[in-house]
Amino acid sequence: MARIADLVAYPLKSNDGAVVDRAEIGPKGALRGDRTYALVEAGVDPHAASVGGNGGYVNGKSEPAVHALRAEYDRSGPTDATPTAVTLSRPARPETGADADERTFALPADGDALEAWVGEYLGYAVDLVREPDGGLPDDRAAPGPTVVSRATLETVASWFDEVADATEMRRRLRPNVVLDDCPAFWEDRLFADHGEAVRLSVGRTALLGVNPCQRCVVPSRHPDTGAEIDDFRETFIRKRRETLPDWLDSDRFDHEFRLMVNTAVPESEWGASLSVGDRVTVEETVDIAESGRHGATATGGDR
């Protein structure tokens, strides 16, 4: 039986995560505080913008310089990762004339100052946007906690000489939930065909596995420097094909550049919590339209 080994929220989208021991599930099913804030190009509506590269979000897909920003958070509480302040540090960036610097910004009060500081570093104006109810995940139809096993992280890290270990691969893939006591690619059990979801129990909380997450350029880049691994996608696809579980049979798995599982959370479970050590049990495949209020289609991405 699998169990939760790590829980990670990402209070500022596309920036460093915050490791927690217990997390409440907020409105719409995301971990409370996960992707509450995001940076977008000035004037962009975050709800209308594409989450892919060049879609208006200032993320690793569109802006490699964000990898060099470091973030630490003051959080609202032990089960709520909503940041009350963020300390950001940046390296010098000669191309924009920005000096190396570190600042602490109260949130949301110092939002304008944070925008100016990040904009100076990037060389263009940005807005700090906030969505306290459900956050700003890439997968707007399945915005629940993303799930992967530690054995998967270890295996995928071994495919690339440039990746130090499972922890670095976790930082590249950016899951919310890392599982232990299960083999590599165990999480591929947590999705079925289009129109279906896999119900699982995590402690006393029910989640719905919806789809395997479609990856983008972000995992190919070092999480601190942005340095890119040559032929990452080609190697990943080849190795994923070689290690694909024999029992995997889902029309959602339409190509091999997918890893990690996006989930939805029935509305009845909002306000429940997940904790490190919770046991994870796969229950049954259900009709997604009858399994609680949530979206039925999913886009994927690196969130």
pLDDT digits (tens, 9 = 90+) for 6-54: 999 999 999 999 999 999 999 899 999 999 999 999 999 998 887 666 6
| Distance between CA atoms of residues 256 and 30, nearest Å | 26
Tally of CB atoms within 10 A around 112? 12
pLDDT for the residue numbered 124 = 97
SS3 state of residue 99: coil
Least confident span in 81-90, 244-253, 287-296 = 287-296
Task: Kindly report whether the global pTM for this prediction surpasses the value 0.85.
Answer: yes
Amino acid identity, position 81: A
The CATH number of domain 147-290 is 1.10.3470:
no
pLDDT for the residue numbered 292 = 61
| Distance between CA atoms of residues 158 and 151, nearest Å | 11
pLDDT of residue 301 exceeding 70: no
pLDDT for the residue numbered 291 = 72
- Residue entry with tokens 């602490």: 104
pLDDT for the residue numbered 49 = 84
In 99-257, where does DSSP find H-type helix?
111-122, 150-158, 166-173, 232-242
Helix axes 166-173, 150-158, angle to 10 degrees: 100
Residues carrying CATH 2.40.33, the chain = 147-290
pLDDT for the residue numbered 152 = 98
SS3 state of residue 250: coil
| Distance between CA atoms of residues 294 and 276, nearest Å | 25
Q: Are 208 and 294 in contact (CB under 8 A)?
A: yes
Least confident span in 65-74, 104-113, 137-146, 227-236 = 137-146
SS3 state of residue 190: helix
Closest of 275, 260, 41 to residue 148, by C-alpha? 260
Cβ contacts of 77 within 8 Å, gap of 6 or more? none
Average pLDDT, the chain: 93
Amino acid identity, position 253: F
| Distance between CA atoms of residues 262 and 244, nearest Å | 18
Share of the chain above pLDDT 90, in %: 87
pLDDT of residue 91 exceeding 60: yes
pLDDT for the residue numbered 297 = 38
Angle at 291 between CA 287 and CA 296, to 5 degrees: 70
pLDDT of residue 303 exceeding 70: no
Question: Strand pairing of 177-180 and 196-202?
Answer: unpaired
At 130, is the pLDDT very low, low, confident or very high (cuts 50, 70, 90)?
very high
| Distance between CA atoms of residues 282 and 24, nearest Å | 21
pLDDT for the residue numbered 53 = 61
Residue range 253-295, pLDDT digits in tens: 999 999 999 999 999 999 999 999 999 999 999 998 877 644 4
At 300, is the pLDDT very low, low, confident or very high (cuts 50, 70, 90)?
very low
Bridge partner residues of 275 (DSSP): 22
Look up residue 181 and give its two tokens.
Answer: 């006591």
Residue range 132-184, pLDDT digits in tens: 988 999 888 899 999 999 999 999 999 999 999 999 999 999 999 999 999 99
Share of the chain above pLDDT 70, in %: 95
**pLDDT mean over 116-139:** 95
